[in-house]
Structures are given as C-alpha cells and as structure tokens.
Structure 1
Amino acid sequence: MLMILGLSFVGFLLIGVPVAVALGASSALAVALASHVPLLVVAQKIFQGMNNFSFLAIPLFLLAGSLMAEARISERLVALANLMLGRYPGGLANVATASSAFFGSISGSAPATTAAVGSVMIPSMVKRGYRPQDAAAVVAASGALGLIIPPSLTMVIYGVISGVSIGDLFVNGVLPGLMLTFALMALNYAIAKRKMRKGKNQEQIDIEKAQAGQVIRNSLLALLMPFIIIVGIYSGAFTATESAAIACFYGLFLGVVVYRTLSWKGLVNAFKSTATNTAIIMFLMACANAFAYVITAERVPQQFALWLVSITNDPIMIMLLMLVLLLIVGTFLDNVSALVLLVPTLMSIISAVNIDPLYFGVFTIIALAVGQFTPPVGLNLFIGANIAKQKVEPVALAVLPYLFVYLLMLLVFIFVPSLLVVSQW
C-alpha cells in the first residue's frame, strides 16, 4: 500500500495535479488497491481533516490581513519605517525590510506582505538608484517575515496539527522574528556601505519634522493589533480563535472609522480573497488528513523515527538533518503543504530524542519560510519579480545574500535553542 501511495502521489505531481488533489487521489488509490479497508474511510478522514474548531482561526486571520491590505495600511507602515531608517545608508532597503516586519505582524502571510510592501517600495527603490532585481530581492526575502512574526497563519496550522499551544507559538515567534529582521537590515547596511566605497549611487531619505508626529499617529493604531492579540492570548483573556475574530473587527474599525480607506469594493475583495484562500487551505488540510491516515496505518512515522535514531541520537545532529529536509521540501512545496505532510512524521522523531515540540515548531516555520523566496516555487520571488518587471533568474541570484543570512540564523537557533523558547526563560 505504501508503494502505491508514494508512486501515485509523485506521479500526480509530475503531471501537474494540484497538491491537495494528489494527496486525496493517491490515498484513495492506495486504500482501494492494497487494503481491505472500505473506501468510505477515505471520505471520513477527509471530513475529519476539516472538523476542528481551531481551524476557524484560519479564515479569520486571513480576513484580518485582507482587511488591513485593502485599507492600505502598508503605506502608513512604510512611512513609519521611512521616518525611523530613511536617513541612514541602505535606508530605502531597510525601510522595505522594516515595513515587511510591521505588515507581516498584521497580515500573517508572506505573499501578502511581499505584494503590499513591494507595490510601494520597489518602484521607489528603482527610482532612487537600486537595480530592479536588487529591490525585488530585498522585498522577497523580507516578505518571508510575514510567516515568522506573529500572528502567523503557519503557526496556527502547526499548533492545530501538533497540539502545541498557538499562544505559546505566537509569543516565542517574536524574538527570532526580530533577530531575523535586524540581521537582514545589517546586510542591507553592509551592502550600501560597500557600494558607497565603490562610488555608486546611494539614496538618502529624510522626512520633515513637522510630518513626523502625523506619521507616528497614522501607523501606531495599526501596530497595536499584534500586541493586542499576543497579550490577549497569553493573559488568557481570549483564545487564538477569539483573537482572530477580534483582529477582524479591529481591522474593520481602522479601515472604516479611523482611516476611512476601506471602501465597499475593498471590503468585497477582502471577503472574496479570504473565501478563496480558506477553501484552498482547508481542502489541502482535509486531503492531507487522509494521506496521513494511510502513512500512519503503515507505521511510517515510527519506522522513520527508529531508523533516524539508529544513526544518531544527538539532538543537534537530528536538528541539522531536519534543517536539510525542511529546506529541500520547502523549496518544492508551499509552507502549508509541507507542514501537513511532515509534522505528523517529524513529531515522532523529536519525541524520541526529547526535542521540545514548541522549539521545533518555531524552527520549522522559519526553515519553511526560506522556501518562499527560493526557486522553483518561491511565491515571494515571483511576486517581487513581477512588480519589478524582471525575470525570475536575476532576482533569484540577487536574493542569495539574504538566503545566507536566513541559513546562518537557523544554525544559530540550532546551537542556541533557548532563543526559540522565550516563554520558558
């Protein structure tokens, strides 16, 4: 049964079948051709894959991010980042990175962050002397922060699959998100200083002091949203699902009452995009549950865990092997698909070597975020290249220094795991 499952799944992917359909179809084929279990069980597992109250947080967080995007919150966050960083070397690149961190903490989505910030920043960077591929690379790499800095949709999905507290994931995602942000900004600064020494054009940005107060006021309320969510969850005032609903009402309030930038058309677009993305994610989760049922019935997680532990039981070596696996899988699959396929199996391994599932969850989310800006399927890469009107190849080359920064930070997190479990300090 396992051979039929694997061969059919790979075959479906090779002929271009969507991942969700490939998961469901290969599961049904394996059960029908190599098992005495009634095929009805596959349908039951697909239904069970969606029948979880915690999944209600997914469309609500998606809607909150869509409302913020339609209300053009990104423009205010860019102005705030410009006020803070614009006057320094590499200022505009660091404005893009800081804006991505700000907007990522609101939207929880890497593609949404890349599109929202890139549409504002890439034309401005090109106008100020940046090469288009460099501008797209900065935004694509920084956009991955949307998956790491809470509230993050991938943290919700990992929490539901693994049983780890979503609130704990949110709290422990703050420090690594900030560390990655500052590491990317340090790289932007170093690149700018090197170009200045070579006599190349270096942008300098400033903002009138009279406008500074208005810029801060315009952006402060938007930045309060992730703070309200994290504090509310961790204090026990509301659950992760309730916090997603509060985020929706807060985004609606800002867009309609405070900023007055959310039109009826924008509201309809927000609901449309939320419905579409929710359907895609939920169908994927449902079919992945059927796939996981077949894998579990064949005891693949337990056998894989025993095989890996027979090679080494050193947690650091295990995490290094995990990093390689996550980077490879994240390169070919989107983060949601990778989570639903890998987490059930990998949880058996980390429990065998006593690795904290909370630490592993934050680490996994960061490692899979790298796939958002690496070819062949890095969505951030394509979005940035499209906005910059460039081919993907030169943008992929320009993103390599940022890839190195992410890999360096992941190695730091392996050797200093306490950085990812702040709540246990």
Structure 2
Amino acid sequence: MEGLFAILLLLVLMGLGVPIAWSFAGVLAYLAMAYDANLDTLMMQGFRSVDSVILIALPLFVLTGYLMQSGGIASRLVTFIETLVGKRRGGMGASMVLASGVFGAIAGTATAAVASIGTIMIGPLEQRGYPRGYSSALLGISSLLGILIPPSITMILFAVVTRQSVAALFAATVGPALLLILGLILANRLAAGRLFQEVAGATHPAGQAPSKARATWRALPALSLPFIILGGIYGGVFTPTEAAAVAAFAAIVIGFLVYRDQSFRHFTRSVIAASETTGSIILILLFSFMIGRILAFERVPQDLTELITTLIQNPLLILIAVNLFLVLAGAILDDVSVTVVVAPLFLPLMVDTGVHPVHFGAIVACSVVIGANSPPVAPILYMACRIGRVSIHKTFSPALRLIAFVGIPVMLITTFVPELSLFLPRLLGFI
C-alpha cells in the first residue's frame, strides 16, 4: 500500500510543478518515515550505486549531443540525408526520421535531437507543404530513435539499475529501432498524399542546393562518428564508457578544426547545458536507488508480482498488462523515471513470466517512445512544439495517429517476438 501511495505522491508532486529530482526526494522522505529506514545506511548505498564507471558515459554522451548541435555536425547530417531522399514523395519527412536516427547513433538522447533536427528542418518542411503541427509530431516521435538506436542513455540507466550488460541492451534495441524507422517513413508517405499535399522542389535557395557528392563529402566527418562509436563497442576496441569519451572528443575536433562552426562561447554553453542535464539525472538516480533499496527490503516488487500473477494467470495477458502500465506510466512520468523506478519494479514479474531481462529492456525503451509523446505530460512532444513554434493542440491529433499506427504496433511486435530484440545480442555473444 505504501508503494502505491509513493507512486501517487510522485505524480502529485510532479503535477504541482516540483522539479523531478526533488519530487523523488519527497517520495524518499515519505518512504523513509513510513518504513522507519536508516537514512545514513541508505545514503551510503545510494552513493555506492552511482559510483559506477558505466555512468561516466552519461555526461559524455549528453555533451556529445550538445556539441553536435553547436558544432555544425547536425546540420551537415541533415543536408546529406535530404539530398538522398528529400525529393521523393514524403521525402522531407523521411529525411527528418533518418536524420534523427543517425543523430541518435551518435548522441543517444532525444532532447538534443529535437533541438538540433527540429531547428534545422521544421522551416523547410513547412516550405514543402507540411503542416507545422504534423511536422512537430513527427519530430517528437522520430527524435526518440535516440533512445532505441545505440548508444542510448536510457539503456545505460536501465543497465545500471538492473545490473545488465550495456552492450547487450544496446544491441537489443536495434531491431525495434529499424522497425520504427520503417513504420514512420511509410506512415509519413501515406500522410503526404492524404492528410496534406507535399510541394515538390528543393528547400534550398536557387543555386545553393549542394550536389549529392558535395553533401556527402561535407558529411563524411559527421558520418564517421556512428561507425567509430558502434564499431568500437561491438568490435571490442573499447567499452561503452570509452566510446562516449571518444565521441565527445571527436565532436570537439570536428566542430573546432574540421567544420570550424564551433566557438569557445558555444562550447562553454554546451558544457554548462550538459552539466545541468547530467546533474539532474544523477540526482534522480541517487534518490531512485535509495527508494529502490527501501522497496526491495520491504519486498514490494515480490508482492507486486504475487498480486498480478494471482489476478492474471495467462502469461500473454500479463505481458499486455505490463505494456499498458508502462505506456500509462510514460504518459505521466518522464523517461528517466520510468526507466529507473517503474521498470525495476516489474523486472521480477517479467523474469517469472519467462521474459529475458534484456528483452524487457527493449520493451521499456519502446514504451518510453510512446509515453514521451502521449498527453498529458508528453515532455518530448511539448519540446517539439516549442521548437516548431506551434500550439500543442495542433500536434495531438497527428501524434496520436503516429502512436496508434506505428508506435504501439512496434511495441507489441517487440513484446511478442522476442527474437527481434534478442537475436543481435545472441549473435554478438552478449547473452
């Protein structure tokens, strides 16, 4: 009962506008009083949990995302992809989806993708006849490819709180990511002919559109980043943490010395923004670890497992119920909260049901894609609206269509076809 009230308390605090980290602190204070926990012991255990080499990758990948935005890397990637697919029916929308995917393969974060890709593409999309509400909805969902395509900050957090292999979780979300990309491109192609009419023609001023060869040459340094990062991780050259350091260093070199768009002022702003983001996440992790210790000591996850298995005996129905709960939780909590609090609660139940922890990680990642764009909270969708300078009401309808016809089917396929997320980790020998 206390565990359920703690979740309700978290929702109330967040609904009142309390910062997420301090909402977690409030929940921790309530649970510590309810269960008469020893705060000194909890604090020591919490600091030991965040004292992790794996977590060093977190600030480095966040910094890489900001450096890509300020150093001209994102703009070159978008131009390159636009020259390849932008002139086909639905090509501009497909360009944004693919650009978000490539961006995610470098930075591993959705918020940086929304800011970088959205700033560059929303205007040109409007010139091609895309309504701003639709473009913002497509941006919000496609930016979440940064959570599915490795390296993923969400999967790093999931690995830390569930003690799973980071490399295995990175590999597990590749299949769902490719499926989501295909679904978004097909849905956008249908929308370009039915919901609105795409205007033919280039989005660059006359005589300024780069050729494919020139756009490719300009994008080569940026395109080398995902190959270096993923090739290094899966080739055994370096760990995910070392890959994050390589990515940040490469982004600095490319921004300052290759493209020369980076400046010390922009670099300083990127470092400050990355520090603020990382500090907030680490505080949430610290408090969530301490909350998790209390709940584990009081056997709350085991009680939850027993309750659900008593009410529902069919494993398929249990999976559907967990899917539904994750989507609802994602609609009112941010992706970090779902990953570090809700997911560990359901992990024992999933293991008892026969779901591999790595497979469950892929399911959680897919649920975050849906929840982060679902009202009432929809943090990524709101951010996409701010970037697109459009009312949130104009994005709800296209966002819900994309979720219903693309996001939810991808999540269900990921849930009920385990090999989609387990094939690659097994092939690479991670599980």
* TM-score scaled by length of structure 2: 0.91
1:134–1:395 Cα contact (<8 Å) kept: yes
What is the aligned partner in structure 2 of residue 148 from structure 1?
148
Measured in 1, the distance between the counterparts of 2:217 and 2:245 equals 24
The one-letter amino acid paired with 1:71 is G
2:366–2:410 Cα contact (<8 Å) kept: no
Measured in 2, the distance between the counterparts of 1:210 and 1:11 equals 51
After TM superposition, the structure 1 stretch with the greater mean CA deviation from structure 2, 6-15 or 171-180, is 6-15
1:76 is aligned to 2:76: yes
Measured in 2, the distance between the counterparts of 1:284 and 1:121 equals 32
The one-letter amino acid paired with 2:131 is R
Counterparts of 1:150-189 in structure 2, within 5 Å, are: 150-189=150-189
Measured in 2, the distance between the counterparts of 1:339 and 1:90 equals 34
Question: Relative to 1, partners in 2 of residues 1:395 and 1:195: Cα closer, same or farther, differing over 3 Å?
Answer: closer
What is the aligned partner in structure 2 of residue 109 from structure 1?
109
Measured in 1, the distance between the counterparts of 2:183 and 2:123 equals 24
Measured in 1, the distance between the counterparts of 2:375 and 2:295 equals 28
1:171–1:230 Cα contact (<8 Å) kept: no
1:16 is aligned to 2:17: yes
Q: What displacement does 1:387 show?
A: 2.6
**Gapped regions of structure 1 (runs ≥ 5):** none
Q: What displacement does 1:214 show?
A: 1.4
2:93–2:125 Cα contact (<8 Å) kept: yes
1:191 is aligned to 2:191: yes
The one-letter amino acid paired with 1:413 is T
Give % identity: 28
2:161–2:289 Cα contact (<8 Å) kept: no
Q: What displacement does 1:219 show?
A: 1.6
Measured in 2, the distance between the counterparts of 1:191 and 1:150 equals 28
Question: Relative to 1, partners in 2 of residues 1:66 and 1:288: Cα closer, same or farther, differing over 3 Å?
Answer: same
Measured in 2, the distance between the counterparts of 1:125 and 1:6 equals 40
RMSD: 2.2
Q: Deviations over 1:226-259 (max 9, x none)?
A: 2222222223221111111111111112112221
What is the aligned partner in structure 2 of residue 413 from structure 1?
414
1:334 is aligned to 2:334: yes
What is the aligned partner in structure 2 of residue 139 from structure 1?
139
After TM superposition, the structure 1 stretch with the greater mean CA deviation from structure 2, 315-324 or 300-309, is 315-324
2:71–2:261 Cα contact (<8 Å) kept: yes
Question: Relative to 1, partners in 2 of residues 1:201 and 1:271: Cα closer, same or farther, differing over 3 Å?
Answer: closer
What is the aligned partner in structure 2 of residue 26 from structure 1?
27
After TM superposition, the structure 1 stretch with the greater mean CA deviation from structure 2, 273-282 or 350-359, is 350-359
Q: What displacement does 1:186 show?
A: 0.6
The one-letter amino acid paired with 2:421 is L
Q: What displacement does 1:372 show?
A: 2.0
Per the alignment, in what secondary structure is the counterpart of residue 262 of structure 1? coil
Measured in 2, the distance between the counterparts of 1:348 and 1:171 equals 22
Question: Relative to 1, partners in 2 of residues 1:313 and 1:69: Cα closer, same or farther, differing over 3 Å?
Answer: farther
Q: What displacement does 1:262 show?
A: 1.2
1:90–1:188 Cα contact (<8 Å) kept: yes
1:76–1:215 Cα contact (<8 Å) kept: yes
1:203 is aligned to 2:200: yes
Measured in 1, the distance between the counterparts of 2:177 and 2:8 equals 38
Question: Relative to 1, partners in 2 of residues 1:21 and 1:204: Cα closer, same or farther, differing over 3 Å?
Answer: same
1:291 is aligned to 2:291: yes
Measured in 2, the distance between the counterparts of 1:418 and 1:70 equals 39
What is the aligned partner in structure 2 of residue 235 from structure 1?
235
Q: What displacement does 1:116 show?
A: 0.8
Q: What displacement does 1:82 show?
A: 1.0
After TM superposition, the structure 1 stretch with the greater mean CA deviation from structure 2, 38-47 or 328-337, is 38-47
**Gapped regions of structure 2 (runs ≥ 5):** none
Q: How many residues align?
A: 421
1:60 is aligned to 2:74: no
* TM-score scaled by length of structure 1: 0.92
Q: What displacement does 1:21 show?
A: 1.7
Question: Relative to 1, partners in 2 of residues 1:2 and 1:206: Cα closer, same or farther, differing over 3 Å?
Answer: closer
Q: Deviations over 1:310-336 (max 9, x none)?
A: 344544332211110110011111111
What is the aligned partner in structure 2 of residue 224 from structure 1?
224
The one-letter amino acid paired with 1:54 is I
1:136–1:384 Cα contact (<8 Å) kept: yes
Per the alignment, in what secondary structure is the counterpart of residue 399 of structure 1? helix
Measured in 2, the distance between the counterparts of 1:175 and 1:250 equals 27
Q: What displacement does 1:137 show?
A: 1.5
What is the aligned partner in structure 2 of residue 262 from structure 1?
262
Question: Relative to 1, partners in 2 of residues 1:21 and 1:42: Cα closer, same or farther, differing over 3 Å?
Answer: farther
What is the aligned partner in structure 1 of residue 322 from structure 2?
322
Q: What displacement does 1:6 show?
A: 5.3
The one-letter amino acid paired with 1:24 is A
Q: What displacement does 1:279 show?
A: 0.4
Q: Deviations over 1:233-290 (max 9, x none)?
A: 2232211111111111111121122211111112111110111011000000001111
Measured in 1, the distance between the counterparts of 2:178 and 2:288 equals 32
The one-letter amino acid paired with 2:19 is P
Measured in 2, the distance between the counterparts of 1:49 and 1:5 equals 21
Measured in 2, the distance between the counterparts of 1:173 and 1:50 equals 24
